[in-house]
Amino acid sequence: MAKAEKSWEKRLAGEPDELTIDFVQSLSVDKRLYKYDIVASIAHAQMLADQKLITKAEFKQIKEGLIEISQEIAEGQFKFDKTYEDIHMTIEAALVAKIGEPGKKLHTGRSRNDQVATDIRLWMRDEIEILQAKITQLQKAFVKLADKYSQDVMPAYTHLQRAQPITIAMYLLSFVEQLERDFIRLKNCSRLVNISPLGSGAVAGSTLPLDRKSTAKQLGFSDITYNAIDAVADRDFCAEFIFDCALIATHLSRLAEDWIIYSSSEFGFVRIDDSYCTSSSMMPQKRNPDVLELVRAKTGSVYGSLVAMLTILKAQPLGYNRDLQEDKIPLFTASDTVKACLDMTRAVVLHTKFDTNKISAGLEDGFVDATALAEYLVRKGIAFREAHGIVGTLVAYCEQQNNKLAELTLDEFKQYCSSIEADVYENLGAANVVSKYATEGSAGFGQAKEQITYWNKQLAQR
């Protein structure tokens, strides 16, 4: 391919410093946008032809040339040259080299400022779908695991102290809920993403009769932007997208932390499959949950991306500044990292086993039935505050005697509260408590079953 001249060669004297070439180029990062750049260019060229700004024959040549370039890039045949700075200039230069004069008309009424904003939005639209699919896959893995453990009980923690008994299923489904919000957040984000800035030009639009709605329609955008100055400067949607990624990472890090703790010998609640553990180079007995530790740690780079994006935007003068070129690094980092973490977490979830024997063996420690006992007293007509006090005293008494609440005799109970009857025992012990949960969304057996059915149905539709 003959080396095409750079479009601003007439304006700037001499060759740029080699350092400048490396420093300003974004090609190494943005070349992955090539497909989007090409579809947007074809739509733009089609519109130029419809508006008689180029001929039909020129459009045909442009389109065919762009498709060939797209194939060359896809097949790895294309030689990237960083002196063209970015994917936009690279493709345009390749087109001119390929088809000559008509190629020089492609950039009519367009700037890289609206071009790059369009490309990112097209990329993000796809990326959101990919992320949503991965979220759904992970949700399905959780539901599958929940179904296995719908009849098993574990302690729930607050302040990492034993709190109340719950079904393992509802514990697992709590992650499905978190991920569902992530799914919805991305959906909301796509509303702001799916708007076309194409035709906004450099900052002020164009004096040419561009039909912006036609390019928007061709590219599947739901609307166009209505202020060119804002359209080329806006990266709010990038910050929002990265925030959504950051929250996914947060949720995965909470799961990772739980399971790192739960897989320790001290807990022994879960067994992470060997395929997702590593060992120690020195201590032969070790089975380390490194995969989960890395999921936890990678959250850091996603948060970093969010801070980077917000800081890039902070106090930037309107409209486009080259600062905006740096958006792609945090964007791609956040998305790539979260995609990898979603895949990895799904694999871990699908192969994790809960040690229900170990969990049950210690389940009655820690007075997890104390709250249910207080609620039993409420049903006997005692004010909750008073009931809370009575049970608190009973727990202190049990601790002295090294007893559990369920092991107290009715006489002992009656010494503390005369309203307690023989039916108290149906309300004590972790499994009894779990079977008594009555409110919607509680962590009982019935609710778990309902929720598993709900999620199976819900997720099957995606």
Q: Which is nearer to ligand ARG, 312 or 382 (CB)?
A: 312
Q: Which is nearer to ligand ARG, 90 or 345 (CB)?
A: 90
Q: Taking the alpha carbons of 438, 441, 443, 447 in that order, is the dihedral positive or negative?
A: positive
Among 39, 246, 255, 324, binds ligand ARG (CB under 6 A): 324
Q: Are 121 and 193 a contacting pair, CB within 8 Å?
A: yes
Q: Which is nearer to ligand ARG, 89 or 424 (CB)?
A: 89
Q: Interacting stretch for ligand ARG, rule CB under 6 A, among 11-19, 320-328, 368-376, 409-417?
A: 320-328
Query: In angstroms, rounded to a whole number, what is the distance separating the alpha carbons of residues 168 and 148?
Result: 9
Residue 39's contacts (CB-CB under 8 Å, 6 or more residues apart) are 122, 219
112 is a site residue for ligand ARG (CB under 6 A):
yes
Q: How far is the CB of 36 from ligand ARG (least distance, A)?
A: 12
Q: Interacting stretch for ligand ARG, rule CB under 6 A, among 66-74, 110-118, 141-149, 431-439?
A: 110-118
Torsion of the alpha carbons at 250, 251, 256 and 259, rounded to the nearest 10: 140
Query: In angstroms, rounded to a whole number, what is the distance separating the alpha carbons of residues 127 and 310?
Result: 20
Q: Are 119 and 33 a contacting pair, CB within 8 Å?
A: yes
Q: Count interface residues toward ligand ARG (CB under 6 A).
A: 10
Structure tokens that stand for 378 in this block: 């409420």
Q: How far is the CB of 88 from ligand ARG (least distance, A)?
A: 6
Q: Which of residues 69-108 bind ligand ARG (CB under 6 A)?
A: 86, 88
Q: How far is the CB of 5 from ligand ARG (least distance, A)?
A: 17
Among 48, 73, 94, 116, binds ligand ARG (CB under 6 A): 116
Structure tokens that stand for 108 in this block: 């009519």
Q: Which is nearer to ligand ARG, 48 or 120 (CB)?
A: 120
299 is a site residue for ligand ARG (CB under 6 A):
no
Among 41, 46, 61, 113, binds ligand ARG (CB under 6 A): 113
The residue annotated as part of the active site, out of 70, 107, 280, 351, is 280
Among 26, 90, 263, 299, binds ligand ARG (CB under 6 A): 26
Q: How far is the CB of 33 from ligand ARG (least distance, A)?
A: 9
Q: How far is the CB of 445 from ligand ARG (least distance, A)?
A: 55
Q: Which is nearer to ligand ARG, 172 or 239 (CB)?
A: 239
Question: E strands along 33-178, which residues?
Answer: 153-158, 161-167
**3-class SS of residue 403:** coil
For helices 328-350 and 290-313, what crossing angle results, to 10°? 160
Q: Is the peptide bond before 319 cis (omega within 30 degrees of 0)?
A: yes
Q: Which is nearer to ligand ARG, 228 or 387 (CB)?
A: 228
Query: In angstroms, rounded to a whole number, what is the distance separating the alpha carbons of residues 345 and 30?
Result: 28
Whether 351 is a known active-site residue: answer no
Q: Interacting stretch for ligand ARG, rule CB under 6 A, among 122-130, 319-327, 401-409, 424-432?
A: 319-327
Measured between alpha carbons, how far is residue 166 from residues 138, 171, 230 in Å? 22, 7, 51
The distance from CA 195 to its chain's CA centroid, rounded to whole angstroms, is: 21
Q: Which is nearer to ligand ARG, 88 or 162 (CB)?
A: 88
The residue annotated as part of the active site, out of 28, 88, 159, 196, is 159
Torsion of the alpha carbons at 39, 42, 44 and 49, rounded to the nearest 10: -160
Closest-CA residue to 340 (of 308, 302, 305): 302
Residues lying near ligand ARG in the complex (CB under 6 A): 26, 30, 86, 88, 112-113, 116, 322, 324-325
Catalytic residue positions, numbered: 159, 280
